[in-house]
Amino acid sequence: MINSEKAFISLDSKSIFTKKLLESIKVADLNSLEPSMAGFVLQKGSGPSISFSVVNGALKIQGINY
């Protein structure tokens, strides 16, 4: 778990955007996403995902799950 912005920024992009994560979001059905203030999860099936939410009126990454 990454607990700070500094720790996150110091990570190599390949350790964040793994092959499995990229494959999962690449095949996600974007047309099935419905915007809401609660956000949405970009993934295919039960694979790795990126969770988004609205913070102060802007879309933000809430979490990256492997």
Query: pLDDT tens, position by position, for the chain (66 residues)?
Result: 788 889 989 999 998 899 999 999 999 888 888 777 678 889 888 889 999 998 888 888 988 998
Phi-psi region of 8 (alpha: psi -120 to 50; beta: other; left: phi over 0): alpha
pLDDT of residue 44: 86
E-only strand ranges, 1-66: 40-42, 49-55, 58-65
Contacts (Cβ under 8 Å, ≥6 apart) of 28: 42, 43, 44
AA identity, residue 60: K
- Where do we find the tokens 């609205």? 54
pTM: 0.72
